[in-house]
Amino acid sequence: MKKLLLFSLFLPFVTNAQQADSIKGDFQKGTHWYDNVSFRGFVQFRYNRLLETNPKLKCEACDKSMGDDGGLFLRRARLIFYGQVSERVYFLIHEDLVSAASTSGLNYGQLRDAFMDLGLDKKNEFRIRLGQSKVPYGFENMQSSQFRSPLDRSDAINSGIPNEHDLAALFYWSPTNVKKRFADMSNDRMKGSGDYGVVAFGVFNGQTLDKPELNNELHVVGRVAYPFKIGNQIIEPSLQAYTGHYVIATDQMSTGVKVKYDRSYLDQRAAASFVLYPRPFGIQAEYNIGVGPEFIKVTDSIEDKKLQGGYILFNYAMKYKKQYIYPFVRLQYYSGGKKNELDARSYTVNEFEGGIEWLPIKNFELTAQYTISSRRFEDYKNQDNLQKGNLLRLQAQVNF
């Protein structure tokens, strides 16, 4: 067997904000701005019903085709335009063409990113980002869905910033040597998150992706991350936190559920992350605690409640001839509410996921993931709802 390679050696394509951040080139003087604009994307096709033991086991935030009435499903179809159009100005527009607008409507276009970066110095070590972009909270949230091994993000981290994006004004600082390291971790196919700064802080609306603001208070977020090189290994610890107030929209409430008079709830979290990049063995772990809105069935009300949860992921990289194989295992736990779901659904999640990514050719990959899950998810109309089950999930992905 040939020498073990980096976990993501096969992936030559940058497909969203964080990977684009990592490969920003110098603006070439004497060229037109459009000469520096690039286009990339990817498509994911799924089926989740093989070896299914409980069709009532669902996950609204994970994959709407899981469980009853689920079938063949386009999970993502992403198009990204980006470019360094002058020495200090960068832009990115990112569209998903197959978003689920409702339980009965699929394959609608949804804006994911639309932001501008303004460099405050010649090296762009200090920059300001304005527009709709990822909120710097958590490693897995920053990591592209194209590069992540498990098919979905973990409940615990992603429930803080559902869909990862919001309208924001953010400040980033990355010294030149660290910017290069962030780029190397993406360009060396190690499933990096891209350059979201050694230090990041700013404000965002807090009502989640593509939702209007519903109060006069902005959320505040801060993150510190640093990739250390130790011999042949790279580790990246990070700390992050945000605070604000989330307003339950009227279409997120069941008739009869009790809420605060202004429907405003404390939305506050802090998280620690640790990444050992796969060279060839890797570990990824995150855990967060906080307070947020949650449905409480004994009072039929939405209340401010504590929450906690996280995950640990083990992965490995191997090469066979010209094919690449990447086994992974993830354990996750979450206890708390999901603010953007109906009645801020109350959850308790215990889940095991094990799978393999197989790349017969560089532009195409197949992932098979076996999931063993226990999910309690309750709202006003659906109480005492604990579902357990197993299923085999398949995904085909093309990168271009």
- 8 A C-beta contact, residue 336 and residue 61: no
**Residue 12 counted as domain residue:** no
* Torsion angles phi and psi, residue 156, rounded to 5: -65, -50
Q: How far apart are CA 392 and CA 400, in angstroms?
A: 27
- 8 A C-beta contact, residue 6 and residue 280: yes
**Residue 296 counted as domain residue:** yes
**Domain carrying residue 317:** 17-399
- Tokens 């091994």: give the residue: 149
Higher pLDDT, 9 or 380: 380
**Residue 3 counted as domain residue:** no
**Residue 4 counted as domain residue:** no
**pLDDT for res 294:** 98
Higher pLDDT, 270 or 69: 270
CATH number reported for the structural domain that contains residue 129 in this entry: 2.40.160.10
In tens, the pLDDT along 313-335 reads: 999 988 888 888 899 999 999 99
**Residue 338 counted as domain residue:** yes
In tens, the pLDDT along 383-392 reads: 999 999 999 9
Band (165; pLDDT cuts 50, 70, 90): very high
**Residue 5 counted as domain residue:** no
**Residue 10 counted as domain residue:** no
**Residue 327 counted as domain residue:** yes
Per the structure, the count of domains in the chain is: 1
